[in-house]
Structure 1
């Protein structure tokens, strides 16, 4: 089969979008490839098509459970065998799944970068016939990226297991510094870089200086038909805004990282299927949200960076029909953002104190704790030691970034 026949058979399209064909051909030529495509630019097709053309399995590294679950379900609907290792799976279940990837005819294995830290997973991947390694949201590998994930740094170890297998790294937002870091961390050789303009001509960007944000949000929801996403600063706000929208007869649900995984999945499924019109969320409702017909994204608070705003706003209009990205702000927002920036940089003494408290919290002796996996409640930790939650979280992120600790929602 040719790549065009695969495109037609599984996706029903006769033509590729701009740059997709060139990226696919680069992968088929065995080159390490970096694809910088705008949100909604069809990144997943760039690794799915060449992986289907060649014998063997494609390993897809993705940062979010929701993204993996969506793509696996979409592939299965097309009759393509795909699996994902997600949180909540038992060790035996993971073991059987990995066996199927070695001895069965699975075409795609999705997993998080944290999973690659597991000796069990790495050892089993060694025996798989891998045809491609795809790294989605590749900006997470760079410490200069706005959404750095320390476990991504260890992806080079995956290359060591299969040194002759090409790597395709994909992202919708990367500065030149981040691009250089991606190439370095993934040990690119004989590589190709493809860049498509990040302009989204169907997406209208609108900014309102607004004191009564709720009133404006209700007006936007009334004037723009279809599904939407509303981003807010914290978990409490998600519930409050969703409640007010429902009181106005506008179907809404709330979403944040503090919810149990099954409940988050249900809320996301209800929104995707149209049972709920608007999702009010923190940025935990993030990368990889795969819904083409989102007509508007509203930010009730200022995002932390332009890259984050581009990613979040870009979840509207992926079907290339008219959509809107609406930013509502007032003077108080600037103050809050400056305050948050100050809290993002705890001092050395404060970081040492948090690290010391971790030892006391888990009752670990000095030098103990290596390779232990422990249940951790951040709120309880902060309450017990009278710590500021935001500064503590940023101290924990610093410790993770420098590999003193590893944070994960779940191990199995």
Structure 2
């Protein structure tokens, strides 16, 4: 097999911080998506320096001309250097890679521009979200691509340039396997997997589909590209320890320095274990750093604060004056911890937040994870903990 793959979550403690956390009372296990990504790729992560070829300027000019034609605007340029390098990577790089482009960085240009510049490139684009795929499929059709959706057509034409596949369709094993390994299948060169972090929190049926996809990608003869909005620092450390690379240059300089962790708490001591976690993290803060702890309801936030004397912010505080008092309490460092609900969503925009803990939030509130991604945008490493006792 070309790579060993598994989506099994394994407990790890590769840093002193995480080592300490896993020994706290009431904390049963700690997982990180970095381990999953490591197993999803061969031990080679693209280095930007490998893309600096002699004709790089010519390639960039060609990409600009393609953008002009697509957007009907001769002033059009790439959204960021990361986007330009990512497009170049798809055109020139024949190995697996992780590409980090922040949300709104126009990742879709990777599969739109590449086939226009090189008609030998045929792409499979995989995503868990049907609405997003349908929208991208329609855009590709409007651009006069030979695009197909596996949801609509289980036998795409031989000349298909871009095939959009939802993860659930992979679970229809016989149909997708027959397509992927069929004798008359399109000669696809790249598989781009967007929003691969979905396997961490999705429903069980979709997890099975992710596992199946992972197995098949170890056999197919094409480049596997994972798209992500963040760069997990622990991923880089893992790769450096397990491969011959002495230094790895992230493809995107705009990637957020974000660590995402899943913490399982003892269900019989959820708030007590949470307090241990908060106390341990608070002891590691510098004078200007802060912690946010998100709860699913005002009552939980209040009960947590009554016990420990932290600042609190939610929609049912008595009046605006109470909100101002708690904000000042948190801002001036009297309490470095703010217990809150989604009403404090604007607070994640503060650059001095070092740790964010999300406690027992339901799947319908996972948008908080995206909001939490703003933490650490000042360039300092930031960690987010999804703490659950369920």
Alignment TM class, shorter chain as reference: 0.3 to 0.5
Q: Tell me the TM-score normalized by structure 1.
A: 0.42
Q: Tell me the TM-score normalized by structure 2.
A: 0.44
